[in-house]
């Protein structure tokens, strides 16, 4: 577990990828994200609302996916790379019209994958992540999360039912979102009692015998008729909600907390998530914070918070909402806590006092069978890389000829691309010349 390198109450207004990359590993307790859903449209705030001017594009094309992301995934996350490629191939099968949009899903998932990898890194071992999505990409995202966080760390697929949206005549009305809850490890924190409902007793309780135990705590015993097994529920603990939430409605036109920000989520939804998966003073991060609903809910519940959004509206709205909804609901107080605004990503302080730059190894590997041919690659874990070559070789003769730990690895890769043919494949040349090229470059 590392110290956080971001001040409490910070809003970053820029692409979240660079911000996430600059946050210390294992320093965040809870992440909620409500990213674009890949709806293939633009969401805009209505003119005249306090969020006027905020909008975001919800589609992803080839030009939104950087080669370096794919390269990083290919090098370090083999299973993920295969999955994304399968999606790419599948897109052309699923979309039989083969129109130019058929790579949307692939591009969206690449964009999400590279960010979710960082989110996993910055989460503490006790931490949880709630990914808000809907049926547009929910099933793909579940697989993506299974790969990145591990299937065993999947805890819930929460259905959030609401009343807004249309009612078509040809379908059952689409009235729910999905919230995927994953944890980083089995040490995760969960406090179901903090969000428990009062237990129904009397006629509404659907059976159950009431009583008081020897310590004076009221309880209700429910007996399974067939096995006669008794389940005891304490009334002061409440009932942990099921995984379908229909008691928190979406924001309606007249709701006080509504800012007009497109896709704004209700505070009650975030309050439930924060209460269940964090302690007071824990650090809550929202990587797509919009009008900062998570930050407001975290502040109300005495948690520390970090919000990130490309739109500068997030900063304006968090200040307005903190003043109106947290400090000053009765027009009595001024909100006077410092809110940090930053357009620069943070710098990591957990790399031996080093700075924010990510370092990886540039390596050259060879095999005695292929004389004069070398593979120049990049890896975070060079031993794991060598092992993966060895496993594909019955003679186990691959050798690392050269390695250099550097943050300039992308630039070196570019140089190799430009100078040698075959790009990522084996390149032909003199080993010392290739080493000199790399050394000269750094």
> Which is closer to ligand SAM, CB of 58 or CB of 413?
58
Stretch that binds ligand SAM, among 87-95, 191-199, 283-291, 412-420 (CB under 6 A): 283-291
> Which is closer to ligand SAM, CB of 1 or CB of 310?
310
> Which is closer to ligand SAM, CB of 162 or CB of 261?
261
Q: How far is the CB of 329 from ligand SAM (least distance, A)?
A: 19
Cα–Cα dist 339/17, whole Å: 21
Q: How far is the CB of 15 from ligand SAM (least distance, A)?
A: 4
Is 307 one of the binding residues for ligand SAM (CB under 6 A)? no
User: According to CB under 6 A, which one of 177, 309, 325, 413 is a site residue for ligand SAM?
Assistant: 309
> Which is closer to ligand SAM, CB of 223 or CB of 310?
310
Is 384 one of the binding residues for ligand SAM (CB under 6 A)? no
User: According to CB under 6 A, which one of 308, 378, 379, 382 is a site residue for ligand SAM?
Assistant: 308
Stretch that binds ligand SAM, among 81-89, 302-310, 318-326, 358-366 (CB under 6 A): 302-310
| Tokens coding 239 | 């009932």
190 Cβ neighbours under 8 A, 6+ residues apart: 128, 155, 276, 277
Site for ligand SAM in 44-103 (CB under 6 A): 56
Is 413 one of the binding residues for ligand SAM (CB under 6 A)? no
Q: In this chain, which residue has its C-beta nearest to ligand SAM?
A: 290
Q: How far is the CB of 120 from ligand SAM (least distance, A)?
A: 17
- The contact mask relative to ligand SAM for 10-29 (x = CB under 6 A, - = no) is -----xx-------------
> Which is closer to ligand SAM, CB of 16 or CB of 27?
16
Stretch that binds ligand SAM, among 86-94, 185-193, 289-297, 361-369 (CB under 6 A): 289-297
Contact 238/193 with Cβ under 8 angstroms?
yes
Q: From the CB of residue 178, how many other CB atoms can be counted at a distance below 10 Å? A: 20
Tokens 């070559």 map to which residue?
A: 389
Q: How is residue 197 annotated by DSSP?
A: B
Site for ligand SAM in 245-274 (CB under 6 A): 261, 263-265
> Which is closer to ligand SAM, CB of 17 or CB of 362?
17
Is 38 one of the binding residues for ligand SAM (CB under 6 A)? no
236 Cβ neighbours under 8 A, 6+ residues apart: 217, 218
| Tokens coding 8 | 């409490």
| Tokens coding 51 | 């969020």
| Tokens coding 210 | 């009431």
Q: How far is the CB of 314 from ligand SAM (least distance, A)?
A: 7
Is 325 one of the binding residues for ligand SAM (CB under 6 A)? no
* Bridge partners for 123 per DSSP: 28
Q: How far is the CB of 300 from ligand SAM (least distance, A)?
A: 14
Task: Give rounded-to-5 percent helix, strand, coil for the chain.
Answer: 35, 20, 45
Cα–Cα dist 210/213, whole Å: 10
User: According to CB under 6 A, which one of 42, 94, 212, 310 is a site residue for ligand SAM?
Assistant: 310
Is 315 one of the binding residues for ligand SAM (CB under 6 A)? no
Quote the distance between the C-alpha of residue 23 and its chain's center.
Answer: 14
User: According to CB under 6 A, which one of 24, 50, 311, 366 is a site residue for ligand SAM?
Assistant: 311
Cα–Cα dist 36/52, whole Å: 19
Cα–Cα dist 31/303, whole Å: 12
Cα–Cα dist 305/25, whole Å: 16
Is 290 one of the binding residues for ligand SAM (CB under 6 A)? yes
167: left (phi over 0), alpha (psi -120 to 50) or beta: beta
296 Cβ neighbours under 8 A, 6+ residues apart: 267, 270, 318, 321, 322, 325, 326
Contact 306/285 with Cβ under 8 angstroms?
yes
Q: Which spans of this chain sit near ligand SAM (rule: CB under 6 A)?
A: 15-16, 34-36, 56, 261, 263-265, 288, 290-291, 293, 308-311
């Amino acid at each position: 577990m590392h110290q956080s390198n971001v001040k409490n109450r910070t809003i970053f207004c820029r692409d979240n990828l660079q911000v996430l990359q600059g946050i210390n590993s294992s320093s965040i307790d809870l992440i909620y994200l409500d990213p674009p859903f890949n709806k293939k449209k633009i969401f805009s705030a209505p003119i005249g609302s306090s969020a006027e001017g905020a909008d975001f594009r919800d589609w992803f094309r080839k030009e939104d996916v950087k080669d370096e992301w794919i390269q990083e995934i290919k090098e370090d996350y083999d299973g993920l790379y295969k999955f994304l490629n399968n999606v790419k191939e599948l897109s052309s099968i699923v979309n039989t019209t083969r129109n130019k949009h058929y790579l949307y899903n692939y591009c969206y998932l690449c964009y999400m994958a590279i960010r979710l990898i960082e989110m996993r890194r910055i989460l503490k071992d006790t931490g949880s992540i709630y990914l808000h999505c809907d049926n547009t990409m929910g099933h793909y995202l579940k697989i993506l999360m299974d790969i990145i966080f591990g299937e065993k760390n999947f805890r819930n697929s929460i259905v959030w039912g609401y009343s807004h949206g249309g009612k078509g005549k040809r379908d059952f009305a689409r009235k729910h979102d999905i919230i995927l809850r994953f944890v980083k490890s089995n040490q995760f924190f969960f406090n179901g009692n903090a969000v428990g409902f009062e237990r129904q007793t009397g006629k509404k309780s659907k059976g159950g015998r009431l009583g008081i135990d020897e310590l004076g705590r009221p309880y209700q015993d429910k007996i399974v008729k067939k096995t006669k097994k008794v389940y005891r529920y304490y009334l002061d603990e409440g009932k942990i909600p099921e995984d379908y939430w229909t008691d928190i409605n979406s924001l309606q036109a007249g709701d006080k907390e509504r800012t007009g920000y497109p896709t704004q989520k209700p505070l009650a939804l975030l309050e439930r998530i924060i209460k269940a998966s964090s302690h007071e003073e824990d650090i809550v991060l929202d990587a797509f914070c919009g009008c900062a609903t998570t930050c407001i809910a975290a502040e109300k519940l005495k948690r520390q918070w970090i919000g990130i959004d490309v739109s500068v509206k997030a900063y304006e709205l968090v200040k307005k909402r903190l003043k109106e909804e947290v400090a000053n609901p009765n027009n009595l107080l001024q909100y006077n806590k410092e809110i940090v605004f930053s357009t620069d990503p943070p710098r990591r302080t957990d790399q031996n006092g080093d700075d924010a730059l990510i370092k990886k190894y540039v390596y050259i590997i060879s095999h005695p069978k292929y004389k004069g041919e070398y593979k120049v690659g990049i890896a975070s874990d060079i031993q794991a890389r060598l092992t993966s070559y060895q496993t594909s070789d019955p003679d186990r003769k691959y050798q690392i000829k050269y390695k250099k730990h550097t943050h300039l690895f992308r630039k070196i890769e570019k140089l190799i691309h430009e100078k040698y043919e075959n790009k990522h494949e084996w390149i032909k040349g003199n080993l010392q010349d290739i080493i000199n090229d790399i050394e000269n470059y750094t």
